């Protein structure tokens, strides 16, 4: 019966050994394609917060080859743009998951992910996507792991940074958090700095700046509203902190966001 079945299959024009091997080779080429190699390498480096290795990987990426691979699966120029966007959306997804595995808090991940989602969808050219998203996106996730990973934090500090993320827009003080956890403020300040690498106020300010940047990209609020939404009570203090963090004033950042989009 087995021999009869094999003969019938061959007689019906089934694939021969060479065809099967060629098809399998094609599948291997797809599985080991550039975008999968990029994903596998970047995912590992983001999770570990290895910015130096990640930068080396990105420097070695042949973006022209990457775009050509996308173009080979597209029908027209607009379809190529859409397909590149989809590829970078996928990068945003696996980078976010990698950073989550690296111990980054949900709010930080959400703010980064949504900001880049907006940039991707509003991009008008492939050049913009490559220059302003493809390289910057994985770097920002890896930087978030390097700066804010909770892996290695004590349980009490993990609880506190999560509370901070939940209450960023309120008037958080070191004393309030210390009282809540029955700790002396001086002891908490030292422990917080030792584990996070930042002072309590610096940590909060950096988180608030990330929140403000997200609101800028939404393009729904005026500057004064964003100051309040991000948890700052003073416009001048917000400007000072924002410039120290990002290297430019919030007004200039807002102009750059609007110009890019």
Q: Are residues 172 and 122 in the same domain?
A: no
Q: Are residues 110 and 163 in the same domain?
A: no
pLDDT class of 196 with cuts at 50, 70, 90: very high
- The residue among 107, 127, 148 that closes a domain is 148
- The residue among 99, 125, 148 that closes a domain is 148
pLDDT class of 2 with cuts at 50, 70, 90: very low
The owner of tokens 């994903």 is 39
Q: What angle do CA 74, 81, 77 make, to 5 degrees?
A: 60
For the chain, the C-alpha Rg in angstroms (whole number) is 24
* Count of domains forming the chain: 2
Q: Are residues 125 and 189 in the same domain?
A: no
> pLDDT averaged over the chain?
88
Q: Are residues 51 and 139 in the same domain?
A: yes
pLDDT of 9 above 50: no
Q: Are residues 103 and 178 in the same domain?
A: no
| pTM for this entry | 0.83
The rounded distance, in Å, linking the Cα atoms of 35 and 91 is: 9
Averaged pLDDT for residues 129-135: 93
Q: Give the domain range for residue 237.
A: 155-260
Q: Are residues 139 and 161 in the same domain?
A: no
pLDDT of 40 above 80: yes
Phi then psi dihedrals of residue 150, to 5 deg: -90, 0
Q: Are residues 163 and 141 in the same domain?
A: no
- Does residue 99 sit within a domain? yes
Q: Are residues 103 and 119 in the same domain?
A: yes
Q: Are residues 120 and 170 in the same domain?
A: no
In CATH, what number is assigned to the domain containing residue 172?
1.10.10.60
pLDDT at 261: 58
Q: Residues 134, 119: contact at Cβ < 8 Å?
A: no
- Does residue 26 sit within a domain? no
Q: Are residues 74 and 129 in the same domain?
A: yes
pLDDT of 18 above 90: no
- The residue among 148, 177, 194 that closes a domain is 148
Q: Are residues 113 and 199 in the same domain?
A: no
């Amino acid at each position: 019966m087995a021999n009869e079945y094999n003969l019938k299959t061959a007689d019906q024009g089934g694939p021969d050994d060479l065809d099967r091997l060629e098809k399998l080779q094609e599948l291997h080429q797809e599985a080991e394609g550039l975008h999968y190699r990029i994903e596998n390498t970047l995912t590992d480096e983001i999770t570990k917060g290895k910015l130096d290795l990640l930068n080396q990987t990105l420097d070695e990426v042949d973006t022209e080859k990457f775009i050509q691979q996308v173009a080979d699966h597209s029908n027209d120029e607009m379809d190529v743009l859409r397909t590149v966007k989809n590829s970078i959306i996928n990068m945003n997804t696996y980078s976010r998951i990698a950073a989550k595995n690296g111990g980054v808090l949900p709010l930080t991940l959400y703010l980064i992910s949504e900001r880049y989602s907006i940039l991707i969808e509003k991009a008008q050219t492939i050049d913009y996507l490559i220059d302003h998203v493809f390289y910057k996106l994985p770097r920002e996730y890896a930087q978030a792991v390097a700066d804010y990973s909770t892996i290695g934090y004590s349980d009490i500090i993990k609880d506190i940074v999560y509370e901070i993320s939940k209450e960023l827009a309120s008037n958080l003080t070191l004393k309030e958090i210390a009282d809540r956890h029955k700790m002396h403020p001086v002891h908490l300040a030292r422990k917080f700095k030792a584990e996070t690498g930042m002072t309590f106020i610096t940590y909060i300010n950096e988180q608030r700046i990330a929140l403000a940047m997200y609101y800028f990209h939404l393009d729904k609020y005026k500057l004064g509203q964003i100051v309040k939404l991000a948890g700052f009570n003073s416009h001048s203090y917000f400007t000072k902190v924002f410039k120290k963090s990002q290297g430019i004033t919030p007004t200039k950042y807002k102009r750059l966001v609007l110009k890019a989009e």
